[in-house]
Amino acid sequence: MKADSRPLALIADVGGTNARFALTDPASSKADIIEPRSLINAEFASLQHAAEHYLAEVGAHPRSAAIAVASPVHGEEIRLTNRAWSFTRSELKQALGLHQLSVINDFGAVSWAIPALQSAEYLTLHGRDDAPLRGPVSVIGPGTGLGVALLVGDAQRGWDVVETEGGHVSFAPLGDEEQTIARWLTARFGRTSTERVLCGAGLSHIDAVLRSNGNAPHDVALRGFEMREPADIVKAALEGHDVVARRALARFCAVLGSVCGDTALIHGARTVMIAGGMVPRFIPFLRSSAFRERFLAKGRFAPYLESVTIRVITHPNPGLLGAAVAARAALQAEASR
């Protein structure tokens, strides 16, 4: 990294599969993302080791950091939900030589990024492209897990984020096929949350159920049945030659529509923003799926949902952008003390 006289802060977006790191200038009026890198979590024993690797690679020695993690962030000890990493705030702060450390939920970070997005950094599925951002905003996205958060406020009064674990609510299947998927997952895991369906592994499970004709997971395993990678299922579905892959992705989109509609009703949302690493890969397929039909299938409240704007975030690193916003807010809060 070139020498930089600015007091840069470390920012990170740590999911179950990848850890994205960058630097930012918290004193800047713009949420800059400087020297971004993406590391594979499986190659590191802990978040501390991944962060140290990144800092050594770019030659930086920040004194502050804002780190977004895919887990609840209450308390001193943090445990990632979908990765066997844990740390305490004080030990990580000391190990990295930091004066100030902010730890936020990963979808909280995505939510903080939304007011900072430019129009070219999202696509509108429903509503006017030029419509201003209206709150409350439901933020939801499937990736390694299923993130859910709530953004409240407006551009005049300012925005605030409510971090949630909404991805872990119970799955509400509709129709015979989804009932079969739910039974299959419950037999395997003991409970079916929405995240079990709407994530990368969830797409693999949907595909496995359809290919196995709904047989119990242990029976399938005895026959040497292997689940396909979600990226391979998406690729096969988009190429159009694999009927089961298309059915699996279509079912995934339908369930996503239902869950987005439920979330919008729970939050009283005027806007739904879809994030995560999966959906931007198949937006045309999502548009042609039953997503919109299932989003509206809420009986008497279909007219309410008709007025909700739905967008997909296409910014490559919204979690880092949100962490940069959080780093700037932390600096401002410290300066006001």
Annotated binding site for ATP: 12-17
Task: Give binding residues as ranges.
Answer: 12-17
Say how far apart CA 257 and CA 302 lie, in whole Å.
13
Eight-state DSSP code of residue 133: P
Contact 242, 236 (CB under 8 A): yes
Q: In angstroms, how far apart are the furthest CA atoms of the chain? A: 64
* 66: helix, strand or coil: strand
Say how far apart CA 158 and CA 156 lie, in whole Å.
6
Helices assigned H by DSSP within 198-308:
200-212, 217-222, 230-239, 243-267, 283-288, 291-296, 302-306
Say how far apart CA 262 and CA 316 lie, in whole Å.
27
Question: Buried b vs exposed e over 207-224: b needs ≥16 C-beta within 10 Å?
Answer: bbbbbbebbebeebeeee
> Look-up: residue for tokens 């740390």?
87
